[in-house]
Chain A
Amino acid sequence: MKKFLLTTSAAALALAASAGYAAARDQIQIVGSSTVFPFTTAVAEKLGQSGKIKTPVVESTGTGGGMKLFCQGVGENTADFTNASRAIKDSELKTCKANGVTPVEIKVGFDGIVLANSKAGTVVDLTKEQVFKALAKNVAVDGKVVPNPYKNWSDVDASLPATKIEVLGPPPTSGTRDAFVELVMDAACQEEVKAANEKGCGEIREDGAFVEAGENDNLIVQKLEANPNAFGIFGFSFLDQNADKLQGHKVDGVEPTFENIASGDYGVSRSLYVYAKKEHVGVIPGMQEFIAEYTSEGAWGPDGYLADKGLIPLPDAERAKWAEDAKALKGMGS
């Protein structure tokens, strides 16, 4: 027994010691947005399959969390790429710069945010204004700002069905929520609400009509299936993959389809980005290969494998421009 204790503790010590002398990193580390995660992982896997480099490790930390890790500094213990479901903020770029990090921005494609419900429910044609009225915390009624009084969709607009307003959506930590607020709530904000409170446009009601369903979009899909009257807010890729169970609603008269989002007709779409750390090129093996794979036609093109995963490609000219800039490692703010 004594011997056993001794050997195990010796092993523990040896382990702790070996960790301190870890070899130089030979594998790309990627952090960031959970929306871009499905696409970046697909690229990482493809690259790993080719056998040229070790498969990059991709973590889903959220856009903000990813930026924090990415801008921490230069060196083996920091991430090489970060995924973002919005462009880098000025404050984040400043932090990056202060820590000696030069991000190389690559716009990889679009993502649509859809309002959908179960196939068993009815399809409706919504406007952004109606969505705002249904979901905002405070709305203007007869010129006065009051807590949202609407219970049914028909209260918002007579053309809508007389069912209870019940919307499942992402929590405030999610990039999807940020984009939804920016593209719908802010865009369709009522003047009175804006005048009363500068930030009031982005506030979503908390009286039970809007349910924060967590980051797991599959869970939203299952809940929508169980409740045909409920609407869900999530990324287009989930609608695309669950086309047998869900239907997307028109927003401002445009249906959320692949073509409409790609052409920019569908109003609720955002750009997705990947940021590379210029300082790590040539230090961490595979940086350039990863950029080249991501920006290849076979990946992000209209017929590429990322389109199969639900990424909506950029127009041809824009793709060519971003690919060129990425290849030249055009750093930001330099």
Chain B
Amino acid sequence: MTDAISSFGAVGRPVSIHTDDAAKARLKGRYRTETWFKWLGAGAVALAGLFLVLLLSTIVTQAIPALRQNYLTLPIDLSAAKVDPAKLDAVNYDAIAQEALTARFPDITSRQDKRLLRGLISTGTGVFLRKDIAADPGMLGGTVDYAVPLDDFADLYLKGLLADVGSDEAISTSVTPSKTSGDIDLTFGDDAMLALARGHGATEGENGMLTLTSGASSLLVVFNGGTVKLTALSPGPNGTAVAKGTVIEALDSTAPAASDQAFLRVIDTPEASRKISDKEIVWLDTLKSAGQIESRFNSIFFFTGASREPELAGVWGAVVGSFLTMIVTLAIAFPIGVSAAIYLEEFAPKNRLTTIIEVNINNLAAVPSIVFGLLGLAVFLNFFGMPRSAPVVGGMVLALMTLPIIIIASRASLRAVPPSIREAALGIGASKVQTVFHHVLPLAMPGIMTGTILGMAHALGETAPLLMIGMVAFIVDIPAGFTDPATILPVQIFMWADFPEAGFQQKTSAAILILLVFLVIMNAIAVILRRRFERRW
């Protein structure tokens, strides 16, 4: 373009205000601004897209581990001696499951170790067992293989989120144990282990003695069917190395293991800085290699109520609570909102009073949501004495919040129906009410529905107004009606984000994902309604 202009000058056209050098510079400047603006705009979109991708990918990657849960299959003794079929409620099912687990590791005798071992399975085991027996009494009378959920730390370890465990490496020398259990001495054929221990944070002592404290990586030697944790190493005679260790899993024999028959397992995260001990790791690995642990779809997460134990916590209570609350909100806000919009748009005289009402409805839409919560507390709870934490009150508060949005959207779509429709209906003798309900409202309905769904989606994500009326609470039982205590999805997310247990981090992300899915579905319905039914004139 600039070339064309300059060639104009060259062929001897008269130079005017539009073709002189200043004009060319101006033109160039305008193009430059345009290019700049385009790039800046594209940059802004790209940046926003980048943030969205970053946010979503963090949530999704964090949420994925929560979708599966590890189960341990144990042979559980449900014979009549343990479980009296006549008194099913009086049985300590937790103890039965724990017994099955301790029977799996007969070597473990100390009280403390047994306690540690019992901690591997979820504290909700007894509840599941009781429920399953009640549903299927055929389980009783013998020993059944039953899958119990693992405790949150065990589960997180198996998902690789709690400790860095290297792969097993063969030890290329012989290993001779002094005993099969307790504190033992190991003799290695060469001193390669010393260098290895130094590399993993061992503390140097006198005479080349190396101590592995709980602040260093854990070195586990696996051989002869057992596992030994090394605590200290020192150079032995003739280039050998002597190590002191504690047996975690008893060895079969004191026979020396030949070269490459023993394996070294290194847990890089020091024991002091993880929530799972070496013993628990060894037991879990043993159970896993025996095929007793399997990862299943986490149905607990989707179909149970809240819990203080991460492995037992589910979103179903919150989903039901959200659903009940939304029903109440819709049942109140939709009829009132649409009626108000119809009256204001079609019937109300245009005078100062209606103008004031109109302005105030628009203002109401901008009121912070916590104010509606305070209103709910003052009016519904304190004045009418309605129950705390109930979806019916939550729904009413959210309805107040959604009303202005619905009224504004409905009025806009009523206004968009061309006057010719009304005139034609009135012209053939329809009354005002008939005109509105038979002709105008059906044509405006897609727009009204879209506005309503967006208003509801907005309400679905609210927590602030519910804080005041007691719906931000720990509620385990799944609500069965509108007056039962309930909580909602965003509140559940908020509470999980605040719990100290590491297992709740994944649950939080997974719950966010579920809330996002609901919101996307609602918005998609709004888009579809608009696309399919919207009429343009």
Contacts and interface: CB of A to CB of B under 8 A. Distances in A.
Interface of A: 1-2, 5, 8-9, 11-12, 15-16, 18-20, 22-23, 25, 27, 29, 34, 37-38, 41-42, 44-45, 48-49, 51, 54-55, 57-60, 77, 119, 215-218, 237-238, 240-245, 303, 305, 309-310
Contacts of A23: 483
A48 B474 CA distance: 12
A15 B328 contact: yes
Contact of B386 (A22, A119, A215, A237): A22
Given A8-B331, A22-B387, A244-B275, A48 B477 contact: yes
A42 B473 contact: no
Given A48-B476, A57-B485, A19 B392 contact: yes
Interface stretch (B169-177, B219-227, B437-445, B519-527): B437-445
28 contacts: A5-B338, A11-B331, A15-B331, A15-B392, A18-B483, A22-B386, A22-B483, A27-B477, A27-B485, A34-B498, A57-B389, A57-B473, A57-B485, A58-B473, A59-B472, A59-B474, A60-B472, A60-B473, A217-B500, A237-B500, A241-B501, A241-B502, A242-B502, A243-B272, A244-B162, A244-B273, A244-B275, A305-B123
Contacts of A18: 392, 482-483
A122 to B, nearest CB: 15
Interface string B334-370: 1110110000000000000000000000000000000
A11 B331 CA distance: 7
Contacts of A25: 387
Nearest to B441: A1
B269 interface: yes
A12 B473 contact: no
B386 A55 contact: no
A31 to B, nearest CB: 8
A55 B445 contact: no
B477 A54 contact: yes
B273 A41 contact: no
Interface centre among A20, A49, A60, A303 (most CB of B within 10 A): A49
Interface string B374-409: 000000010011111110110110000000000000
A312 B107 CA distance: 32
Nearest to B485: A57
A217 to B, nearest CB: 7
Contacts of A20: 384, 386
A216 to B, nearest CB: 5
Interface string B260-304: 000000000100111100000000000000000000000000000
Range, interface on chain B: 35 or more
Contact of A57 (B272, B336, B474): B474
B389 A218 contact: no
B415 interface: no
Contacts of A37: 474
A237 B502 CA distance: 12
B213 to A, nearest CB: 15
A216 B473 contact: no
Interface centre among A20, A51, A59 (most CB of B within 10 A): A59
Contacts of B309: 45
B482 A15 contact: yes
Contacts of A240: 500
Contacts of B339: 5
B475 interface: yes
Interface centre among B123, B389, B474 (most CB of A within 10 A): B474
Interface in B298-346: 307-309, 328, 330-332, 334-336, 338-339
Contacts of B335: 5, 8-9, 12
Nearest to B307: A45
A23 B393 CA distance: 15
Contact of A1 (B307, B332, B442, B485): B442
B89 interface: yes
A19 B386 contact: yes
A2 B328 contact: no
Contacts of B495: 60
Contact of A55 (B334, B384, B476): B476
The 6 closest A-B pairs by CB, nearest first: A55-B476, A241-B500, A9-B335, A59-B473, A58-B474, A12-B331
Contacts of A238: 500
B511 to A, nearest CB: 15
Contacts of A55: 475-477
Interface string B69-94: 00000000000000000000100000
B269 A38 contact: no
B256 interface: no
A27 B473 CA distance: 13
